Each structure stands twice: as C-alpha cells, then as structure tokens.
DNA sequence: CGCGCGCATTAAGAACCCGTAAAAAAATCG
DNA sequence: CGATTTTTTTACGGGTTCTTAATGCGCGCG
C-alpha cells in the first residue's frame, strides 16, 4: 500500500505542483488549503507524512505542527520562503523533521520525502545486533552479555531500539525523546542522561569510558558496533 | 543535450565575449541586453544557468535575481565591477550563487560555470563529500581523515554543512551566520573567524595555507573539493 | 611610509551540557 | 494491599563548548 502524504498549502500553484510530483511517484496525496483544514485532515486521514507551508493564510504553520505533535509522531516537512529563516528554526524546534526552502525542485522534494518516510517506517533494521560481548535480538526483545541474559525495562529497550535503528548515525535528543516518551516531552533531556547511564551500565565493558554508546555533546547520542 | 546559459549584460563588448567563450565550449547561449528582457528570457527559455551583470541600465541586477528566485533554483552567477562591492554581497544574499569580478579571464569564467552546473545537476541529497584525505557523511553526521574519525562540535558541523551545501560556491558571512547562529547574530563576523580556524585545523593538511576552505575577503567563505 | 581595515590566531572566562547518585512518585505484580 | 520494580525529579560537580577580547599580520590607500 503506497504511503499517504498530506499537503497543507494555500497557494494553488505550489499545491498542484506538489500533488503532481508526489502523485507521479505513486504516493497518495491529500490536499488542505489552510491550517484549520490541515489539522482536521491530519486527524481524519492519518497520513504517513505531512508537508506544511509556514506561510498559511489563517494561522501559522507552526500552530499546525504543534497541534499534530500533540498526538502524532508522523514525519513533518516544512516549506519555507527564503525570508522566513527565523520561523524555519522555530518550526524545527516545534517538532518538524526537515525543511525545504522555496523555490525547490522535484528532485530535492522527493529525496526529502523518501528520507522522512524511511526514518519513520523502519522497524529496527536487522533483527540482531552485536558488539563486544553483547548480543541483542530485537524481534524477541532479548539480549545477552557473555551468554548471560540482560534485562531491560520498557523504556530502556525502546531507547536502545531507537539508537540501533540508526546504527552509526547520530540521533538527536529530540528524536529520541519523541520516539520514546512522545512529543510532549521533547525538551526533557534529563531523561536521556539518566537512561543513557543505565544502558551503559548494562552494555559497556567500562561504563565510564563508553565505547559503543557515544555522546555527541549538544546534539544527541549514537550507537556504534565494533569496527 | 548541451546546457543553455542566459547572459544578461548591457555592454555589447562583454556580452559578445561571453557568447563566444561559452559558445566555444558547446554551451547554448541566450543573450538579453537589459533586466526586463532578462526576466522574460529566463521564463521563456528556462536556461540551466544565468549570468547576470549587476550594472544594468534599466533596473538593478538584484531585482532580476529576486524575481528569478521566486520561481526557480537555477544557479545564478553575478558579474560585478570592483566598485560594486556592496551590491555584490547583496546579490549573493538575494540568492545568487557565485560572482565574478570584472575584468575576468575565460578560464575563471568557465571554471565557475562548470562548478555551478555540476552543483545544480546533483540533488542536494548528496550524503557524502570528500576532499583530500577527508570524508564527510552528513547523514550520519560523521567525518574521517586518513581513516581516523574527526570530532566536530555542534556549531562546527553546522558551519561545515552550510558550506558543503553550496560546494564550490561562495557563501556570504550573513548566510553562514544566519544559518548557524540565527538571525540575531547576522553581523557577528568574528564568530566565523574563530570557527573557520578550528575547521581548518581539523580539515586542512596545512591549516595556514588553506586549500579547501577558502576566504573570500569582504564577502564570505567557499569550500572546494579537489578536481 | 604610516594608517586603517579585515582576517588569523590565541587564550581565558562564562555558559552550558553531561554524568552521576539518590530520593520521591508511580506503576506493576503477587 | 504491600513489596518490588520502574519511572520521574532533583541536585551538583566536572568537563566541554561557546563567547569574547586582545594581539599580530598583510594589504591597499592616502
């Protein structure tokens, strides 16, 4: 079943451009001409991805994003004019996942859409993952270390799964918080500090000098398997 | 099919010089003697690249750039006399991608044109970039040098990403500052000096004599990969 | 030649972020 | 219902990163 994409855009020209570009790729497209309709359509159609213009006539696209983020983690891509630098950043902070600056080409649009959908849809990449003496089976939700079973709490495991899904890549604080605690806790970074410590105590040979579960100061964390 | 290049230039001498230099390389050339015609021709011919003189008789070349940028992402190269320092920067901030200062040689012209066309042809989804012994993976937010991992702080990486997004072309101080520090710091150019030094220390084989991360005095910086 | 401008370079204090521990609150389970 | 586990809060010390200011250099210009 092809993914559904919600397009919230007031200018008919751009909206039709989006519809035909995305439609040609096989996506199903739902169009909303303003913010109010956008929110309703988001709730009704439960799309796999939303593309939201920041310069909407009735109310700010950021409002739409905030409201959607209250109940959904669907990927949101923001459209912004070159002038709206500031609100672009606000949008990302409000929970948008990516942005495209107008004017933009079909190639760029489709590339961003693919990335966003891939990130959202992916089940924990492989079913197995191992590093050092640790082995994790995501399907069975179990892990062993030196053959001994390790126990994870629900949150610990979700956090680990989220990191493993993006193995080797940095996962931002916001992504982790959003994925594990939901959109309402996207700024409670102290949760991460506590749980990273617990994961390290369970996974790392020397928890004080992490080798697999690495910190990216000011950005997020990342999990790396051995070389 | 050879790329089409639009030349918006009032002085016949320079216009003919451009036509023959570009024509000899196999490009198709469309000439416009003033700004008004330039805009029309841009819409009609949909060229792959526009070269716009800043000192046009009817109205400012910056107007032309702004108007084109409302509907197109085609690369735009600006021609400026040495006196027009200020408007050169305005042009870049308005969406031009690169500039050439008059007088200029064929070699410089063709090099800039090649870079701009190559840049346009590649979807910005490009996740990888390499120059010298350095390799950067933007998706994973990682970089290596001679196989060794290099560590970047949050700001360093954002700066590098911004430069890489416009590989081979100039990025103005203002653009960099806005993208990395936000609009409130658009004039704090001293930040750039400090961080450029750090990037060079991490990326350049000989940081004192930069080969990739180049200074454009009075304008901004430019990242070039080796050819 | 001396001056001013913009850039490179350095260093130090401020601000911020992270790891850590431990207690309080909530949820789970027998 | 009480015990145990899990989650949420809070606090603080140490370390990293960011900001700021001072200095030196090279170049163009008067």
- Distance, angstroms, CA A207 to C1' D11? 22
Strand D contact with B188 (CB < 7 A): yes
Chunked into runs of 10 residues, chain A (227 residues) has average pLDDT values of 92 93 95 93 92 84 82 85 65 77 82 82 67 88 91 96 90 92 91 97 95 95 87
Laid out side by side, the sheet with A220-223 consists of A171-172, A220-223, A213-216
- Decide: residue B5, CB within 10 A, 0-12 exposed, 13-18 middle, 19+ buried: buried
- Distance, angstroms, CA A160 to C1' C23? 26
- Peptide bond before residue B4 is cis, with ω within 30 degrees of 0: no
**pLDDT value at residue A89:** 65
Q: Quick one: pLDDT band at residue B181, thresholds 50, 70, 90?
A: very high
Please check whether residue A167 touches B, CB under 8 A.
no
**pLDDT value at residue A115:** 81
**pLDDT value at residue A121:** 64
**pLDDT value at residue A83:** 60
Q: Which numeric CATH code is attached to B4-121?
A: 3.40.50.2300
With CB atoms and an 8 Å threshold, state whether A89 touches B182: yes
| CA-based nearest residue to A65, from A101, A33, A104, A98 | A98
Please give the Cα distance from B178 to B171 (Å, whole number). Answer: 11
Residue B141 has pLDDT above 70, yes or no: yes
Please give the Cα distance from B184 to A89 (Å, whole number). Answer: 12
**pLDDT value at residue A86:** 60
Q: Judged by CB atoms within 8 Å, which residues 61-120 of B form the interface with A?
A: 69-73, 95
- Spans of all domains in chain A: 4-121, 128-223
With CB atoms and an 8 Å threshold, state whether B153 touches A218: yes
Record the tokens describing residue B210, joined without a space.
């930069």
The structure's pTM equals 0.84
**pLDDT value at residue B85:** 80
Low-confidence winner among B30-44, B87-101, B115-129, B182-196 (lowest mean pLDDT): B115-129
| CA-based nearest residue to A34, from A14, A18, A50, A11 | A11
Residue B216 has pLDDT above 90, yes or no: yes
Find and list the nucleotides of strand C having atoms within 7 Å of a protein beta carbon: 6-11, 16-22
A217 to chain B, closest Cα gap in Å:
7
Residue B78 has pLDDT above 90, yes or no: yes
**pLDDT value at residue A21:** 94
- What is the bridge-based pairing of β-strands B142-145 and B148-150? antiparallel
With CB atoms and an 8 Å threshold, state whether B125 touches A112: yes
**pLDDT value at residue B89:** 92
Q: How many percent of chain B have pLDDT more than 90?
A: 74
Residues 164-223, chain B: which have Cβ under 7 A from strand C?
189-190, 192-194, 196-197, 200, 207-208, 210, 215, 217-219
Please check whether residue B153 touches A, CB under 8 A.
yes
Please check whether residue B147 touches A, CB under 8 A.
no
**pLDDT value at residue A227:** 61
Residue B28 has pLDDT above 70, yes or no: yes
**pLDDT value at residue A100:** 85
Q: Judged by CB atoms within 8 Å, which residues 168-207 of A form the interface with B?
A: 168-170
Q: What are the b/e assignments for B16-47, b being 16+ CB within 10 Å?
A: ebbbebbeebebebbbbbbbebbbebbeeeeb
Strand C contact with B132 (CB < 7 A): no
pLDDT tens-digit map of B106-131? 999 999 999 999 887 765 555 688 88
CATH 3.40.50.720 holds for B128-223: no
Indicate if B128-223 has the same CATH topology as B4-121. no
Please give the Cα distance from A7 to A21 (Å, whole number). Answer: 12
Dump strand ranges (E) for A121-219: 128-131, 134-137, 142-145, 148-150, 171-172, 213-216
Strand D contact with B208 (CB < 7 A): no
Residue B70: list chain A partners with CB under 8 A.
Answer: 103
**pLDDT value at residue B202:** 96
**pLDDT value at residue B37:** 94
């Amino acid at each position: 079943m092809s993914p559904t994409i919600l397009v919230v855009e007031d200018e008919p020209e751009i909206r039709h451009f989006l519809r035909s570009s995305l439609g040609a790729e096989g996506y199903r497209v739902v169009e909303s001409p303003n913010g109010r309709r956008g929110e309703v359509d988001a709730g009704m159609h439960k799309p796999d991805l939303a593309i939201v213009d920041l310069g909407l006539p009735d109310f700010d696209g950021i409002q739409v994003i905030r409201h959607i983020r209250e109940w959904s983690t669907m990927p949101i891509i923001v459209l912004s004019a070159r002038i709206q630098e500031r609100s672009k950043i606000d949008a990302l902070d409000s929970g948008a996942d990516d942005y495209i600056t107008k004017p933009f080409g079909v190639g760029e649009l489709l590339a961003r859409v693919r990335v966003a959908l891939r990130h959202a849809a992916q089940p924990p990449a492989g079913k197995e993952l191992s590093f050092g003496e640790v082995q994790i089976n995501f399907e069975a939700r179990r892990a062993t270390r030196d053959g001994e079973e390790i126990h994870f709490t629900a949150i610990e495991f979700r956090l680990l799964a989220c990191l493993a899904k993006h193995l080797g890549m940095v996962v931002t604080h916001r992504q982790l918080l959003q994925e594990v605690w939901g959109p309402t806790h996207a700024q409670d970074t102290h949760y991460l500090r506590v749980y990273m410590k617990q994961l390290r105590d369970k996974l790392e040979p020397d928890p004080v000098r992490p080798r697999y579960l690495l910190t990216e100061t000011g950005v997020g964390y990342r999990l790396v398997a051995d070389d």
